[in-house]
Amino acid sequence: MTEEETRRKQRARFERLAQVVVDPLHRYLRRRTSADMVEDILSETMLVLWRRIDNVPGLGRGSMPDPEPDPEPGDVLPWCYGVARGCLANARRADGRRLRLVERLVRTQQQLPAGPADHSDLHAALDALGALDREVVQLWAWEGLAPRQIAEATGLTSNAVSVRLHRAKKKLAAQLGRKNAELPGHKRDEGRSGQ
């Protein structure tokens, strides 16, 4: 049997299965979840059934000659209900995660200072850098990439990235007026030998 024939038979088997199970699964899901979630969960269920068409009990393995008999609902529905139940559980877990995320974002938003932070100096300093230096700094600071990873992303060598990053940070510090600012508890000659 060619690959095309196998796909054709698989599709025909799925279509026969869908004719038998779509309406009962739709009713099953309507009784267990909100109306706005039914279609999405039914779609996910049908996708799982498509992927696992060879595992559906009572459907056969596709080796029967055409035309195959339509599946009996009593043979396939219990297994399909189990698949729908699993998809429903996944959707509920995903909904719970989304709800917890929204609640956390709301709490975080309430804890933020009232006014928006003014980063115009930082953006002006970044704009003063060349495009490649700005990209290197942003990949390092915003994306958290190491010089080796930045090199891979930009096509530079790791050494070139390290040099560009060092120079760009010095330029940014000078632009932002922090060139000679000392951190509390640190000495300028700390870590250097006295020789």
Evaluate whether 3-111 and 120-175 have a shared fold. no
Inform me whether the pLDDT recorded for 113 exceeds 60: yes
Mean pLDDT over each residue of the chain, to the nearest integer: 83
Q: Tell me the average pLDDT across 91-104.
A: 93
Q: Tell me the average pLDDT across 22-51.
A: 95
The domain locations on the chain are 3-111, 120-175
Give 164's pLDDT tier (boundaries 50, 70, 90): very high
Inform me whether the pLDDT recorded for 131 exceeds 60: yes
Q: Which of 70, 62, 79 is nearest to 28 (CA)?
A: 79
Topology of domain 3-111, CATH: Rna Polymerase Sigma Factor; Chain: A (1.10.1740)
φ, ψ at 103 (rounded to 5°): -60, -40
Reply yes or no on domain 120-175 having CATH 3.30.9.10: no
Enter the tokens of residue 38: 């039914």
Give 17's pLDDT tier (boundaries 50, 70, 90): very high
Q: Which of 124, 137, 17 is nearest to 70 (CA)?
A: 17
Distances (CA, A) of 148 to 116, 131, 153, 156, 161: 34, 19, 9, 9, 8
**Least confident range of 16-20, 48-52, 70-74, 189-193:** 189-193
Q: How far is CA 19 from the centre of its chain?
A: 33
User: Model-level pTM greater than 0.75?
Assistant: no
Q: Which of 129, 118, 113, 137 is nearest to 175 (CA)?
A: 129
Enter the tokens of residue 168: 């760009």
Enter the tokens of residue 50: 């498509």
